Amino acid sequence: MKIVFFSAKPYDKQFFSRHNASYDFGLEFLETHLGPHIVNAVEPGTAAVCVFVNDRLTKEVIEVLAAKGVKIIALRCAGFNNVDLKAAQQAGIHVCRVPAYSPEAVAEHAVAMLLTLNRKIHKAYNRVREQNFALNGLLGFNLHGKTIGVIGMGKIGQAFCRIVKGFGCTIVAYDPYANAKLIPDVEFTSLEELLKRSDIISLHCPLTPDNHHFINATTIAQMKKGVTIVNTSRGALIDTKDAIEALKSGHIGNLAIDVYEQEENLFFRDLSAEIIPDDMIQRLMSFPNVLVTGHQAFFTVEALDQIAATTLHSVNELSNGRIPADVMVK
């Protein structure tokens, strides 16, 4: 059985090849992302494609995959906003994902970004390397006693709460789907109340049509002046243009993002020798109170190991007529 990987990097080959020893699938790794430009290169008889966050599985792409005999789309990530699930169902293609790969990896990165940006660790590191030990410009604030608003209380959001609780923070949360009774020491509230009360807001929700750009000029205006926002979920949760305006006015005091709404043209690539035409990301990175990482929150040994193990297990189950728990389209 052949599985074609798109958006593949050396670490994907390393972890998937190791776990494939238990299955002996035929694995093919392609660096290009999957989209209309490359889908016709998929060879007839390919049983499964394995994709990542910036692959685009539109109805057009899925119809071509189905015509070539693809039966499984395996997402090696938790998010699924880049797949037309209805088209996959109509084409008779199973879609599976990895909904719970080391949630601590993403939660810990969110906290690391918060601490780095607040206490100017990245700036201090560069200063000291140049023998500059001055403290001017490095002033931060205590996390202890602050109110942190968590939007999205899945496994990652809960892991984030467990960490920041240790700092002595008050935690308020919004999630219309979570069972508040099962999550102790967290006060569930409305989105409006969370925006109004929070000193820090951390996003841990999936991207859906309903919450696209829900961090925008209107919702930012409801937040405290000087609010800190952390996003390790999906870039399009934030309207970047509105965030830039709020940074310019000072309404957003700090912004940490590991995701960006136009990241498919940038992230996971070395562009250090190229001119980047994206003016919004360039403007964001020009702010001293903005910290950007390139979608690396998931990037730990434990997470990559779990992603590979879960993905290949799901493909094996589906290929043998069984339906694993992480299937989205049966």
Q: What is the pLDDT of residue 120?
A: 98
List the catalytic residue out of 19, 56, 234, 264: 234
Residue 19 shares a structural domain with residue 167: no
Q: Are residues 23 and 145 in the same domain?
A: no
User: Do both 126 and 255 map to the same domain?
Assistant: yes
Kindly report, residue by residue over 35-82, the tens digit of the pLDDT.
Answer: 999 999 999 999 999 999 999 999 999 999 999 999 999 999 988 889
**218-227 per-position pLDDT tens digit:** 999 999 999 9
Pair (134, 157) in one structural domain: yes
Q: Where do we find the tokens 């209380």?
A: 153
**Beta carbons within 10 angstroms of residue 328's beta carbon:** 16
pLDDT-above-70 percentage for the chain: 100
Instruction: Name the pLDDT band for 263 (thresholds 50, 70, 90).
Output: very high
Bridge partners for 96 per DSSP: 74, 327
Q: Which of 295, 302, 317, 322 is catalytic?
A: 295
Can you give the pTM of this predicted structure? 0.92
Are 81 and 217 in a shared domain? no
**186 and 51 inside one domain:** no
Is position 295 annotated as part of the catalytic site? Answer: yes
Residues 108 and 97 in one domain: no
- Do 143 and 114 lie in one domain? The reply is yes
* Catalytic annotation, pick one of 56, 261, 263, 264: 263
Q: Are 34 and 107 within one domain?
A: no
Cα 177 to Cα 154: distance, rounded to the nearest angstrom = 9
Pair (123, 204) in one structural domain: yes
Compute CA distances 261 → 64, 211, 235, 325, whole Å: 26, 13, 4, 29
Q: How far apart are CA 283 and CA 63, in angstroms?
A: 38
Domain of 54, CATH number, reads 3.40.50.720
- Report the domain count for the chain: 2
| Helix (H), strand (E), coil (C) string for the chain | CEEEECCCCHHHHHHHHHHHHHCCCEEEECCCCCCCCCHHHCCCCCCEEEECCCCCECHHHHHHHHHCCCCEEEECCCCCCCECHHHHHHHCCEEECCCCCCHHHHHHHHHHHHHHHHHCHHHHHHHHHCCCCCCCCCCCCCCCCCEEEEECCCHHHHHHHHHHHCCCCEEEEECCCCCHHHCCCCEECCHHHHHHHCCEEEECCCCCCCCCCCECHHHHHCCCCCEEEEECCCHHHECHHHHHHHHHHCCEEEEEECCCCCHHHCCCCCCCCCCCCCHHHHHHHHCCCEEECCCCCCCCHHHHHHHHHHHHHHHHHHHCCCCCCCEEEC
**What is the distance between the alpha carbons of residues 164 and 280, in angstroms, rounded to a whole number?**
31
Helix (H, G, I), strand (E, B) or coil at 302: helix
Q: Measured between alpha carbons, how far is residue 154 from residues 31, 68, 103 in Å?
A: 31, 36, 9
The pLDDT tens digits for 175-193 are 998 888 778 889 999 999 9
Beta bridge partners of 326: none
In contact, 20 and 42? CB cutoff 8 Å: no
Full domain range(s) for residue 74: 2-101+300-329
Q: Could you tell me if 176 and 34 lie in one domain?
A: no
- Could you tell me if 144 and 209 lie in one domain? yes
